[in-house]
């Protein structure tokens, strides 16, 4: 009996990697070593999974698609977690693997890439590093520097906690079916000594600051601080994109309740 080919499902944002040269370049960027606790998000048709497991010996994969999860379970070296990744407790997963920290990799569905990144940010203590393929436009925002058009909330919220690097460009023709956008691979390493900050407060400040990015901060952040009776020595005569990550973090620290 021949198994039917899997048809990519639009609702899961499925685009399967199929270019051998690109796959090899991604695996080399990840540099997996035998026995390392690696977790792959959205393995799909196992294009990346197979070369990874060949180097690792064992691999844990998280797959939402029931049909794909069933196929993956037939692979003797895979541990399959059939779940929505946004519901996965990575600390629990690390514990079950007997590992203090996990290496996380994956070709993330473009329609929910930001929620996945923020879900992992909340569990960053158990992450050694992350290598993700994403829409290039998203990675441009993740690694953007101040005073650039791509710099925004995503840049600040990730850069306060990770050192990030855009490591590889991936063209649409590397996928089946080809997406309508360019892709790239990002490397994210949690900072060893990140600044202590109230993450919820930082997130709120950054969201307010970038809510009207063309206006000076006195109209957005300044009004918010006044409304909440919070004061700090901070230059509000700038636009949100002109403020470096460290200054947003310092403001959140200054405004935190004593």
Annotated binding residues: 15, 17, 42, 63, 84, 107
Q: Say if residue 177 is preceded by a cis peptide, omega within 30 of 0.
A: yes
Helix H segments across 177-216? 199-209
CA distance 76 to 220: 55
Q: How far apart are the first and last CA of the chain?
A: 68
47 φ, ψ to 5°? -60, -40
Beta strand spans in 119-232 (E) = 127-135, 162-170, 175-176, 183-190
223 φ, ψ to 5°? -65, -40
CA distance 150 to 212: 14
Q: How far is CA 206 from CA 92, 174, 187, 201, 249, in A?
A: 30, 35, 23, 9, 9
In the annotated binding site for S-adenosyl-L-methionine, the residues are: 15, 17, 42, 63, 84, 107
Burial 242-257 (b: 16+ CB within 10 A, else e): ebebeebbbbbeebee
Residue 239 per-residue DSSP state: B
User: Which residue reads 């993330």 in tokens?
Assistant: 108
């Amino acid at each position: 009996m021949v198994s039917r080919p899997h048809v990519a499902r639009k609702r899961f944002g499925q685009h399967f990697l199929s270019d051998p040269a690109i796959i090899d370049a991604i695996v080399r960027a990840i540099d997996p070593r035998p026995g390392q606790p690696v977790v792959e998000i959205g393995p799909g048709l196992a294009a990346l999974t197979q070369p990874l497991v060949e180097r690792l010996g064992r691999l844990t994969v998280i797959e939402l698609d029931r049909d794909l999860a069933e196929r993956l379970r037939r692979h003797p070296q895979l541990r399959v977690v059939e779940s929505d990744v946004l519901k996965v407790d990575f600390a629990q997963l690390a514990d079950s693997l007997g590992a203090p920290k996990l290496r996380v990799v994956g070709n993330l569905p473009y329609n929910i890439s930001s929620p996945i990144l923020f879900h992992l940010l909340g569990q960053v203590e158990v992450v050694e590093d992350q290598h993700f393929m994403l829409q290039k436009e998203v990675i441009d925002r993740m690694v953007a520097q101040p005073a650039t058009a791509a710099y925004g909330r995503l840049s600040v919220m990730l850069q306060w906690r990770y050192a990030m690097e855009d490591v590889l460009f991936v063209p649409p023709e590397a996928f089946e079916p080809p997406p309508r956008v360019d892709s790239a691979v990002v490397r994210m390493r949690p900072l060893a000594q990140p600044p202590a900050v109230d993450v919820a407060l930082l997130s709120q400040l950054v969201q307010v600051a970038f809510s009207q990015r063309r206006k000076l901060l006195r109209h957005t952040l300044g009004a918010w601080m006044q409304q909440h009776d919070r004061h700090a020595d901070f230059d509000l005569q700038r636009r949100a994109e002109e403020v470096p990550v460290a200054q947003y973090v310092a403001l959140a620290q200054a405004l935190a309740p004593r």
